[in-house]
Amino acid sequence: MTVLLSIATGFLFATGLYMMLRRSITKMLLGLLLLANAANLLIFVAANPVKGQSPLVAEGAQALEQSAANPLPQALILTAIVIGFGVLAFAVVLFSRVYLHTGSDDSDQLTGTES
Amino acid sequence: MSFWIPIVLLSPLIAGLLALALPNKFALRPAVGLVGSLTLLIGAIGLFSETADGSIAVYHFGAWPPPFAISYAADTLSALMVLVSAIVSLGTAIFAFSDADKGASSRGYHGFVHIMVFGVCAAFLTADLFHLFVAFEVLLIASFALVVLDGKRDQYEGGFKYVALNLFASLMFLSGIGLLYGMLGSLNLADLAQLAAASDEPAKLSLAGALLCAAFSIKAGLFPLYFWLPASYHVPSSTVSAIFAGLLTKVGVYALFRVIPLIFAADWSYFQAWLLPVANFTMVLGVFGAVTQKNLRRLLSFHIISQIGYIILGLALFTPLALAGAVLYLIHNIIVKTNLFFIAGYIESLRGTGNLKYLGGLYKERPGLALLFLLSALSLGGLPPLSGFWAKYMIVRACLEAGAPISAAVALFTGFFTLFCMMKVWTEIFWKNPPESAPAATAAAAAAAAGATGAIGTEHVATPVVPVMPKGRVFAAVSTIVVFNLIALGIGFFPEPLIALAEQAAGQLIDPSDYIRQVLGTMP
């Protein structure tokens, strides 16, 4: 499972970076979305997830068992997803406004502030 | 547990939320902003006096034991940065009264600025890597809103570059955090420092460190990742670009100072090999970019980049003298840079344009302003006895002592060009004869200038008639500029206390054991 997730993470990073390098701002936006998911998945994989060991303290015990899954990465990812959602929603609106005001989807044409 | 830390964090947050929630009537929003900035300044002074003797103030939110709590800690560097941010925040709140654009307030200007300041202060104070990410996102989303606040075409274009590059940097930062957590299993900076020191594979950690370093470099505007900065810093209104120039890139610089030496000290030569050439290139290319610019605020944006190079040079050398010089440079630069943007904004309000081609002859009308601009410009260039001189002197001397004569030469060369460029600008604005015939202004530009917003520097049109600024607005602008100049002069003429503080901050960066002990709450 970890191997599969690692490959998926790498694939998401590769496609995200490729899309970020495109000139079309719509495709750059898709690249950002893919990279956001890639980063979240990376946190999950890097924290070495274990299957089927819920982090619940057994009745009568004082602490978690050593083999229990670590819930913190999921809390981090949840926070990152929420932040990413808000920021990317802003980016979607901004990029569409850029298109509406400049009439161009090509980032090479956006040179109005470069001189 | 220091009670100043929650005051510093909560006053801009509450002020920001209140300013967004309150109706836009009876100057309620500016008043809330002013009160928020004042309480922030009081909290920052309290925090500063608590840590001025070299002690470290710690606050664990939720009272969980460390390293599980979200910890905040203020050493000398953090407290100094928070203090300067509070000064800039108050200055901007006052300078904002000189802006004629009443619409900005209705679009939530005051709320966004204070939420951004909250993000900045949280980033300066946090002792938790993931919380640093959250603080970055808070200040970014507020700054995104501020860049495009007036909804003009230039703002969307500049904002697009700003948003795309900074989001990319945030995702790199997040990936670095993920890798680091996977390897070490903690997020508390002090805990990470201990675990990293005990790690037997520092090279593997440096991979995550490289991601963090690259992410902070984009946010700081380092070579070769600075192109978003001069494309976007001149598009918002002059008040907004002043606070951006003062604070935003410095948060990236602070993150480099805080995180990299603390966690990756074992593999420092790896980072030094990158940071040293990057710092040199940033200095030179920033100032070369500035020389050719025609738009005043865009020109100053290039100078920001060049100045960041000096600060990173100090970090790369990592000797006590170099770090002290860098900290002093950071403080001096925030004050002087913000002030130069204030002056640029004021000139734009007076003349309706920030294009050097259409400016000139202002010395006849405003000799005082010419003097104020000259003082800031010379300070930026590093002429003794102004504030920039001491910082430059310390860094150049540290270069020579550390056996990096090329960097010293580059730093001096850049200083010379900065001076040349600023003198050229001063002559263009104040001494040159005003242009004979202003180009025919289009109806749209005339309408824009009638509001005397002067917000968009890229509109290369000067209008012959700019309405006279009312007395109150002139007073707000001039008083802020004068006070900031006085602070800069104070640093220049009485640098000893600040140099002592900078040396103390440098000592804490080089030997973070006290920081680690205090954050983790372990007894020595």
Question: In this predicted structure, what is the pLDDT of residue B504?
Answer: 92
**H helix or E strand, kind and range, residue A4:** helix A2-20
- CB distance B320 to B287 below 8 Å: no
Residue B58 sits at φ, ψ, to 5 deg, of -130, 145
Q: What b-and-e string marks burial along B194-203, b requiring 16 or more CB atoms within 10 Å of the CB?
A: bbbeebeebe
Positive or negative CA dihedral for B12, B13, B17, B18?
negative
pLDDT tens-digit profile of B216-269? 999 999 988 888 898 889 899 889 999 999 899 999 999 999 999 999 888 888
Kindly give the pairing relationship between strand B57-61 and strand B70-74.
Answer: antiparallel
Is the Cβ pair B181, A36 closer than 8 Å? no
- Measured at the CA of B312, the angle between CA B71 and CA B423, to 5 degrees, comes to 125
Q: Chain B contact for A103, CB < 8 A?
A: no
Q: Report the C-alpha gap between B322 and B311 in whole angstroms.
A: 9
Amino acid at A78: L
Q: Tell me which chain A residue has its CA closest to the CA of residue B178.
A: A43
Amino acid at B379: S
Ordered alpha helix ranges (H), B434-470: 443-450
Q: Report the C-alpha gap between B179 and B296 in whole angstroms.
A: 42
From the CA of B33, how many Å to the nearest CA of chain A?
25
From the CA of B503, how many Å to the nearest CA of chain A?
36
In the beta sheet, which residues pair with residue B128?
B188
Q: Return the number of other C-beta atoms located less than 10 Å from residue A19's C-beta.
A: 19
Rounded to 10 deg, the angle between the B4-21 and B76-95 helix axes is 30
Question: In this predicted structure, what is the pLDDT of residue B447?
Answer: 47
The list of chain B residues with pLDDT below 50 reads 440-463, 524
Question: In this predicted structure, what is the pLDDT of residue B453?
Answer: 44
Q: Return the number of other C-beta atoms located less than 10 Å from residue B337's C-beta.
A: 26
Ordered alpha helix ranges (H), B245-295: 249-263, 268-291
Contacts of B102 (CB under 8 A, 6+ apart): none
- CB distance B462 to B435 below 8 Å: yes
Amino acid at B170: S
User: Which residues numbered 37-66 in B keep a CB inside 8 Å of some CB on A?
Assistant: none
CB neighbour class for B294 (10 Å; exposed up to 12, middle 13-18, buried from 19): middle
Q: Chain B contact for A64, CB < 8 A?
A: no
In which domain, by residue range, is B152 found? 4-520
Question: In this predicted structure, what is the pLDDT of residue B458?
Answer: 45
**B393 closest CA partner among B288, B321, B501:** B321
Q: What is the 3-state secondary structure (H, E, C) of B383-433?
A: CCCCHHHHHHHHHHHHHHHCCCHHHHHHHHHHHHHHHHHHHHHHHHHHHCC
Per DSSP, the three-state class of B72 is: strand
Of B158, B163, B171, the CB nearest to A113: B158
**B235 closest CA partner among B138, B163, B305, B333:** B163
Question: In this predicted structure, what is the pLDDT of residue B316?
Answer: 92
- CB distance B250 to B87 below 8 Å: no
Is the Cβ pair A102, B154 closer than 8 Å? no
Q: Report the C-alpha gap between B75 and B77 in whole angstroms.
A: 6
Q: Tell me which chain B residue has its CA closest to the CA of residue A102.
A: B153
Question: In this predicted structure, what is the pLDDT of residue A115?
Answer: 67
Query: CA end-to-end span of chain A, whole Å?
Result: 51
Q: Chain B contact for A110, CB < 8 A?
A: yes
- CB distance B269 to B201 below 8 Å: no
Per DSSP, the three-state class of B74 is: strand
Q: Report the C-alpha gap between B40 and B63 in whole angstroms.
A: 23
Ordered domains of chain A (ranges, CATH):
2-49+71-109 (1.10.287)
Question: In this predicted structure, what is the pLDDT of residue B205?
Answer: 87
* Chain B positions in Cβ-Cβ contact with residue A86 (cut-off 8 Å): 141
Question: In this predicted structure, what is the pLDDT of residue B242?
Answer: 92
Is the Cβ pair B148, A20 closer than 8 Å? no
Q: Report the C-alpha gap between B143 and B137 in whole angstroms.
A: 10
Whole-structure pTM value: 0.91
Number of domains in chain B: 1
Q: Return the number of other C-beta atoms located less than 10 Å from residue A102's C-beta.
A: 17
Largest CA distance in chain A: 70
Each residue's pLDDT, cut to its tens digit, for chain A (115 residues) gives 889 999 999 999 999 999 999 989 999 999 999 999 999 999 999 888 877 777 888 788 887 777 778 888 888 999 999 999 999 999 999 999 999 988 888 888 887 777 6
The structure tokens listed for B504 are 């103390």
Contacts of B54 (CB under 8 A, 6+ apart): B76, B504, B507, B508
In the DSSP assignment, the letter for residue B350 is H
Question: In this predicted structure, what is the pLDDT of residue B502?
Answer: 93
Is the Cβ pair A110, B160 closer than 8 Å? yes
Question: In this predicted structure, what is the pLDDT of residue B438?
Answer: 53
Ordered alpha helix ranges (H), B22-127: 28-51, 76-95, 103-106, 109-125
- CB distance B429 to B356 below 8 Å: yes
Cα–Cα distances in Å, from A63 out to A66, B63, B70, B207?
9, 20, 21, 34
In the DSSP assignment, the letter for residue B377 is H
Cα B136 versus chain centre, distance = 13
**H helix or E strand, kind and range, residue B207:** helix B202-220
Of B140, B157, B171, the CB nearest to A110: B157
Calculated CA dihedral for residues B449, B96, B480, B432, nearest 10 degrees: -20
Q: Report the C-alpha gap between B383 and B380 in whole angstroms.
A: 8
Q: Return the number of other C-beta atoms located less than 10 Å from residue B51's C-beta.
A: 27
Q: Return the number of other C-beta atoms located less than 10 Å from residue B49's C-beta.
A: 12
Q: Chain B contact for A76, CB < 8 A?
A: yes
ipTM over 0.90: yes
Rounded to 10 deg, the angle between the B387-401 and B405-426 helix axes is 160
Is the Cβ pair A73, B141 closer than 8 Å? no
Cα B337 versus chain centre, distance = 8
The structure tokens listed for B330 are 């950071």
From the CA of B54, how many Å to the nearest CA of chain A?
33
Query: CA end-to-end span of chain B, whole Å?
Result: 18
Question: In this predicted structure, what is the pLDDT of residue B244?
Answer: 93
